[in-house]
Amino acid sequence: MKTDFIIVGNGLAGSLLAWNLLQFEKKVVIIDEFNNTAASQVSAGIFLPITGRRIVRTWMADELLAEVKTLFTELGKLNGETYLHEMPVVEIPASVKEWNEWQQRASSPDISKYISRFLEPNAIESINCPYGAIELKNSGYLNISKCVNFLRKLYLDKEILIEEKFNFANLQYSDKINYKDVKADKIIFCEGAEGVNNPFFNYLPFQLSKGEILTISCNTLSEKQILNHGIFILPIGNQLFRVGSTYEWNDLTTNTTESARNNLNEKLQAVLKTDFEIIEHKAGIRPSVKERRPFIGMHPKHKNIGIFNGLGTKGVMLAPYFSKHFAWHLAHEKPLMADVDIARFS
Ligand SMILES: Cc1cc2nc3c(=O)[nH]c(=O)nc-3n(C[C@H](O)[C@H](O)[C@H](O)COP(=O)(O)OP(=O)(O)OC[C@H]3O[C@@H](n4cnc5c(N)ncnc54)[C@H](O)[C@@H]3O)c2cc1C
């Protein structure tokens, strides 16, 4: 079988890179071993333009958001599904100090444009919010697993996805790439957290982090907003909510732990005035990067071996824009942005 590109991995990164290359009428063969603990299967999928405790605008927020909305709306239309759910994120400060920080940061136009309104103390039913709350816009969540699994089915139907574990022992590379009976011009690795074991790219500064996430059922919480109080509480329909996530850098297994469950449970009890029931608990590994920029580009020595990885905690925001950006580079030699090009490490 002959193709232009082999893509290893059909998570958010690989499936969207394949999608964009197919739009350029390139031939693609994807090799993926389905794993229900892969980040894209476990993830909450939240996107929002403001990051972290310091209340800063997410890097390239507006450019990234535009691609998020266009691509996932387009993919949803293909089979009449909704993958992207736009809804406010409501930040619940833990102290007067935090509330004041929000007020102060709101004086910057960079931040104020993403704030819909400030809410009075105790304005939200079923929630402890004694200092008030801040409602953000241009936010929501992507049902990542549903979207990625739709693309998986599409690629299986087109007979361009091979379901198996990629084995480096079978890879031959010189001018051309040969993998078993597939001959390609280039191979691109999109292995998520497994990328740390890739012999071509294990020099890149990954900083993997484990995340654990619960699904709870709760009859009294509003399903129209995502709450953030150190943990996210995200409505997914039928009075179910995803709650997470924890951060852990030492235990990089995908086993769920009692300590993470207790931690999330305690935080939930502190913020919810109402009863809830835990019905699921999952863990996955985020393919995070020390300096929080994706890994994109071709190997410094092997020019037909590339990588698209390092989406970290922001897969939903980064993947649409940068899968398209990389596809332009691969299909039409458009230069890569220096901030994301792995040439920055050579
Ligand atoms: C608990 C948790 C919560 C998260 N919450 C959010 C959030 O709210 N918002 C957000 O934007 N991001 C979030 N993320 C991060 C987001 O999920 C990731 O950035 C994104 O899913 C990474 O996609 P990926 O395709 O790079 O990796 P993955 O999803 O891990 O996909 C890699 C694929 O490659 C396959 N693979 C790897 N090696 C091989 C091989 N040798 N052979 C065959 N197949 C292989 C794997 O099986 C998998 O299918 C979260 C992650 C976790 C774990």
* Residues 204 and 296 sit within 8 Å (Cβ to Cβ): no
Whose structure tokens read 């294990």? 202
Whose structure tokens read 């444009």? 113
pLDDT tens digits, residue range 165-221?
Answer: 999 999 999 999 999 999 999 999 999 999 999 999 999 999 999 999 999 999 999
To test the pocket of ligand 1, the residue of 156, 191, 247 to mutate (highest count of ligand atoms within 8 Å of its CB) is 191
CA–centroid distance, residue 199 to ligand 1 (Å)? 19
**Which of 320, 6, 24, 2 lies closest to 191 in space, CA to CA?**
6
The 8-class DSSP code of residue 314 comes to G
Which protein residue's CA is at the shortest distance from atom 53 of ligand 1? Answer: 284
| CATH fold for the domain made of 86-138+207-286 | D-Amino Acid Oxidase; Chain A, domain 2 (3.30.9)
CA–centroid distance, residue 11 to ligand 1 (Å)? 6
Residues of the chain with pLDDT under 70: none
* Residues 144 and 12 sit within 8 Å (Cβ to Cβ): yes
d(CA 235, CA 222): 8
pLDDT tens digits, residue range 130-159?
Answer: 999 999 999 999 999 999 999 999 999 999
CA–centroid distance, residue 319 to ligand 1 (Å)? 11
CA–centroid distance, residue 312 to ligand 1 (Å)? 8
**Which of 230, 57, 246 lies closest to 129 in space, CA to CA?**
230
Q: How far is CA 269 from the centre of its chain?
A: 27
Burial of 255 (0-12, 13-18, 19+ CB in 10 A): exposed
Q: Beta 89-91 vs 133-136: how paired, if at all?
A: antiparallel
CA–centroid distance, residue 294 to ligand 1 (Å)? 13
For the record, the structure tokens of 230 come out as 């150190």
pLDDT at 51: 86
CA–centroid distance, residue 190 to ligand 1 (Å)? 9
Residue 149 parent element (H or E): helix 144-157
102: number of CA atoms within 13 Å, CB side? 24
Whose structure tokens read 């012999």? 199
The CA-based angle 191-195-200, given to 5 degrees, is 115
d(CA 182, CA 189): 15
CA–centroid distance, residue 113 to ligand 1 (Å)? 30
Domain 2-43+145-203+291-345 has CATH 3.50.50.60: yes
Q: Report the b/e string of 56-92 with b at 16+ CB within 10 A.
A: ebbebbeebbebbeebbeebbeeeeeebbbebbbbbb
Which protein residue's CA is at the shortest distance from atom 19 of ligand 1? Answer: 315
What are the extents of the domains in the chain? Answer: 2-43+145-203+291-345, 86-138+207-286
To test the pocket of ligand 1, the residue of 10, 37, 40, 187 to mutate (highest count of ligand atoms within 8 Å of its CB) is 40
d(CA 211, CA 96): 29
* Cis peptide bond upstream of 245, omega within 30: yes
d(CA 147, CA 150): 5
For the record, the structure tokens of 78 come out as 């293909």
Ligand 1 atom with the shortest distance to the CA of 15: 25
Please give all residues whose beta carbon lies within 6 A of any atom in ligand 1, as ranges: 8-14, 31-33, 35, 38-40, 42-47, 144, 165-166, 190-194, 211, 213, 244-245, 284-287, 309, 311-317
pLDDT at 54: 85
Ligand 1 atom with the shortest distance to the CA of 192: 27
pLDDT at 84: 98
d(CA 297, CA 308): 7
To test the pocket of ligand 1, the residue of 15, 43, 179 to mutate (highest count of ligand atoms within 8 Å of its CB) is 43
